[in-house]
Structure 1
Amino acid sequence: MDFTLSPEIAGLRAEIAAFVEEHLIPLESDPASYDAHENIAPDVLAKMRAKAREQGLWCLQLSRENGGRGVGKMGMAVCYEEMNRSIFGPVVFNSAAPDDGNMMMLEALGTPEQKERWLAPIAQGKVRSAFVMTEPHPGGGSDPGMMQTRAVREGDDYVVTGHKWFITGAEDAAHFVLIARTSDDARAGHTAFLFHRDQPGWEIVRRIPIMGPEEHGGHCELRFDGLRIPAENVLIGEGRGLKATQTRLGPARLTHCMRWLGLSKRCVEIAREYASKRMGFGVRLADRESVQVMLGELAMQIEIGRMLVMKAAWEIDRGGYAQKEVSMAKVHVANLLHKAADTAIQINGARGYSKDTVLEWIYRYARQARLVDGADEVHKMVLYRHLEKDGRDAWRWETGE
């Protein structure tokens, strides 16, 4: 494994860093930059997206053929980390969830016609998207086998009935990817469908209030009562919905980690800056051993997270599935983000608890990290299964020919 950056990736990373420093960090301290749900305001976002596109800092995750930069997962890891030095970064570069994962899935699995209709508008920034999978009890969450939403074939259409919730971005989305049950087969009983918000037969019941700042479009509860989806809008084929889900969620979990590393580093940055000048009892906070231990621990944990992410990215880039590597990164970085925000607030004291910095924003946002795209416990169960299967080889080294 060689994590040396190519000149192209190193240059791209530097361009993103300069853009974030010049254009995005200053916006965070201006209340006018925020919408009602504490994300970047639409008018401000439109201006920043135009600047990012002008500079070629757009949609890095897609191939050039589909309007991106084709940097690969390792290149994304480097650049996404830099993007999320600002809380506004990822969405400005069209690299934020859920569009990020949806675009990668559509690129990997869509037919040419589906890419033109469903992927291109998202890649161009003309529409937003949502991935519709999670259901309220007794439906499916982390266990898709519990899924209740049904799609029944009627002629050239599928008719959908069911109930979904916590669907990220749904209120602002135009393009939706829906996972529904088409049979009771444990392995081939789910199908992925593409539909547009203007189609009848479904509704957004409510935008669910949450404890933290929200992605554009919130987290919504949806109900389906006769939505008709043409068979041509089935993604990858009937009964292959779990394949579509796996294709989407693995890389999407990893890109979450890439972004969270950027936020974790920002927490340390704010804490170090404050500790370097804040005096107490005649001593700078930065000169106190207790503070040095706190920040040194974070520095180590961030580097561990970076190595886990890069190893998983390397495995995917060379054609592997990287389930074990992604689960390790997801658990570690999700917990790291919360710890980084908490530690930085502690060092900043009342200032950290106030809205004078973005620390409190990151702290509230961070709690969801241990839940989204699989709770910690689910990923640890995955890791145990690998341990059961591989035994001591769970820690094997790759060897050359």
Structure 2
Amino acid sequence: MTERAQAIAAKIETFIRDVVIPYEKDPRCGSHGPSDELVQELRDKAREAGVLTPHILADGSHFTQRETAIALIKTGLSPLGPLACNTMAPDEGNMYLLGKVGTSEQKKRFLDQLVSGASRSAFFMTEPAGDNGAGSDPSMMLTTCKLDGNHWVINGRKTFITGADGAKVGIVMAKSDDGACMFLVDLPDPAIRIVRVLETIDSSMPGGHAEIDIDNLRVPADQMLGASGEGFKYAQIRLSPARLSHCMRWLGLCMRANEIASDYACRRNAFGKPLVDHEGVGFMLAENLIDIKQCELMIDWCASVLDSGSLGTNESSMAKVAVSEALMRIADRCVQVMGGMGVSGDTIVEQAFREVRAFRIYDGPTEVHKWSLAKKIKRDWKAAQHG
């Protein structure tokens, strides 16, 4: 690992533990995530500490994925950490995509405000499953875009759009006659209406997750991201590293939850000895250490694949499944070790459990990734039979 990444990771950890964690009980943290006022207050402090958007360098270049991993894991030590350091979804993934696909003008207009931490963004892809729209299957997308002079006109519905309420930059996916397309839009826009913000199990992302109606949204042609019909390709450019970034951040939170549970088990006495000395408790904490190490190794392996220049779709699917399921086990054991305290809001253990439970679904449920990997097994088998 590079010295620059180790140095910034240490700096981030100090900032999270000393500055961010005391904000976890702030009343501006609500069921739909922290308020934008709180986000900006934390980002001002991160800017002063030199840890704002730490994975993107001053010249616009990025850390490698392996370097990004140790930085993002540290930001994840608090649910507020990624927001403070500007490494949170969907912004982190949107910044990555814009950096890879955006034109110079698009980067200046849309990317710069995200990298600086001045604005939040939203990624409009998922559609209501009840309308047979693009839930976990983006090929079923019903949102349309049609060229009208020098503008594209977009109509459709979206759901579970994270951070739409309060976002300043949007990336909207729609289908043209050529196929899937992506568009950059300024928010808010009267043609993009928030129908409601859903009540969900997680509460770490500002703006929550919204249902959206898009009614005759007019987007200048030069705000199309890339080329018409190439949207699915761009989605994979974004989603492969974004899945891995989720793994990094939530691993950090589960590491902290395990710290809290371990401290509790060593201090709490029951039946004549500390809880940790009871095998039923001590073994759970030992299993947590094993799962944490396996998560670290899986993240590092997948990051290495992405750094090699591969799109890493299969690898990121494997990492997303393995890490999200392991983190669920870790969070669950932490709750169990702490008993009644584990389900209370007195520590972040309870929130870690809720956030990680949601993580098993977003950016592709476990079952969708397994299905995708099973298709690869079949393709490889057929190729071997004819090879």
Question: Is TM > 0.5 for Structure 1 vs Structure 2?
Answer: yes
Displacement after TM superposition at 1:39 (Å): 3.5
Aligned match of 2:150 in 145, 156, 168?
A: 156
Q: TM-score, normalised by structure 2?
A: 0.94
1:225 is aligned to 215
Aligned match of 1:142 in 136, 143, 152?
A: 136
**Contact 1:35/1:42 (<8 A) preserved:** no
Q: Following the alignment from structure 1 to structure 2, what is the Cα–Cα distance between the partners of residues 218 and 43? A: 15
**Contact 2:31/2:199 (<8 A) preserved:** no
**Contact 1:151/1:181 (<8 A) preserved:** yes
What SS is found at the alignment partner of 2:29? coil
Q: Following the alignment from structure 2 to structure 1, what is the Cα–Cα distance between the partners of residues 322 and 187? A: 36
**2:172 is the alignment partner of 1:181:** no
Q: TM-score, normalised by structure 1?
A: 0.91
AA aligned opposite 2:268 = R
**Contact 2:72/2:245 (<8 A) preserved:** yes
Q: After superposition, give the CA deviation of every residue in 1:262-309 in whole Å (9 maximum; x if it has no partner).
A: 111112111100000111110111111221211111111111111111
1:55 is aligned to 49
**Contact 1:62/1:104 (<8 A) preserved:** no
Displacement after TM superposition at 1:63 (Å): 4.3
Q: Following the alignment from structure 2 to structure 1, what is the Cα–Cα distance between the partners of residues 16 and 228? A: 43
**2:339 is the alignment partner of 1:345:** no
Displacement after TM superposition at 1:41 (Å): 4.3
Displacement after TM superposition at 1:56 (Å): 2.2
AA aligned opposite 2:22 = P
**Contact 1:335/1:369 (<8 A) preserved:** no
Q: Following the alignment from structure 2 to structure 1, what is the Cα–Cα distance between the partners of residues 323 and 345? A: 24
Q: After superposition, give the CA deviation of every residue in 1:85-126 in whole Å (9 maximum; x if it has no partner).
A: 111100100000010100000000000000001111111112
Q: Following the alignment from structure 1 to structure 2, what is the Cα–Cα distance between the partners of residues 122 and 351? A: 38
Q: Following the alignment from structure 1 to structure 2, what is the Cα–Cα distance between the partners of residues 117 and 312? A: 32
1:168 is aligned to 162
Q: Following the alignment from structure 1 to structure 2, what is the Cα–Cα distance between the partners of residues 48 and 58? A: 10
Displacement after TM superposition at 1:128 (Å): 0.9
2:358 is aligned to 368
2:17 is aligned to 21
**Contact 2:79/2:204 (<8 A) preserved:** no
**2:240 is the alignment partner of 1:250:** yes
1:291 is aligned to 281
Displacement after TM superposition at 1:60 (Å): 2.7
Larger mean CA deviation between 267-276 and 7-16 belongs to 7-16
Aligned match of 2:71 in 53, 76, 79?
A: 79
Q: After superposition, give the CA deviation of every residue in 1:345-397 in whole Å (9 maximum; x if it has no partner).
A: 11111111111111111112222111101110111112223323445999xxx
Displacement after TM superposition at 1:145 (Å): 1.6
**Contact 2:35/2:206 (<8 A) preserved:** no
Q: Following the alignment from structure 1 to structure 2, what is the Cα–Cα distance between the partners of residues 151 and 391? A: 39
Number of aligned residue pairs: give it: 382
Q: After superposition, give the CA deviation of every residue in 1:3-49 in whole Å (9 maximum; x if it has no partner).
A: xx222211111111111111112222x343x3332644444433321
Correspondences of 1:2-401 after superposition (within 5 Å): 5-28=1-24, 30-32=25-27, 34-37=28-31, 39-66=33-60, 70-136=62-128, 137-183=131-177, 188-390=178-380
| 5+ long unaligned stretches in structure 1 | 395-401
AA aligned opposite 1:51 = K
What SS is found at the alignment partner of 1:45? helix
Q: Following the alignment from structure 2 to structure 1, what is the Cα–Cα distance between the partners of residues 199 and 34? A: 18
AA aligned opposite 1:131 = F
Q: Following the alignment from structure 1 to structure 2, what is the Cα–Cα distance between the partners of residues 158 and 46? A: 33
Displacement after TM superposition at 1:205 (Å): 1.1
1:399 is aligned to none
What SS is found at the alignment partner of 2:59? helix
Q: 1:393 to 1:19 in 2, by over 3 A?
A: farther
How high is the sequence identity, in percent, across the aligned residues? Answer: 37
Displacement after TM superposition at 1:131 (Å): 0.3
What SS is found at the alignment partner of 2:282? helix
Q: Following the alignment from structure 2 to structure 1, what is the Cα–Cα distance between the partners of residues 338 and 327? A: 17
Q: After superposition, give the CA deviation of every residue in 1:317-347 in whole Å (9 maximum; x if it has no partner).
A: 1211111221111011112222222111111
Larger mean CA deviation between 93-102 and 320-329 belongs to 320-329
Q: 1:43 to 1:231 in 2, by over 3 A?
A: closer
Q: 1:153 to 1:38 in 2, by over 3 A?
A: closer
What SS is found at the alignment partner of 2:185? strand
Q: Following the alignment from structure 1 to structure 2, what is the Cα–Cα distance between the partners of residues 106 and 342? A: 36
| 5+ long unaligned stretches in structure 2 | none
Displacement after TM superposition at 1:170 (Å): 0.3
1:398 is aligned to none
Q: 1:350 to 1:175 in 2, by over 3 A?
A: same
**Contact 1:180/1:191 (<8 A) preserved:** yes
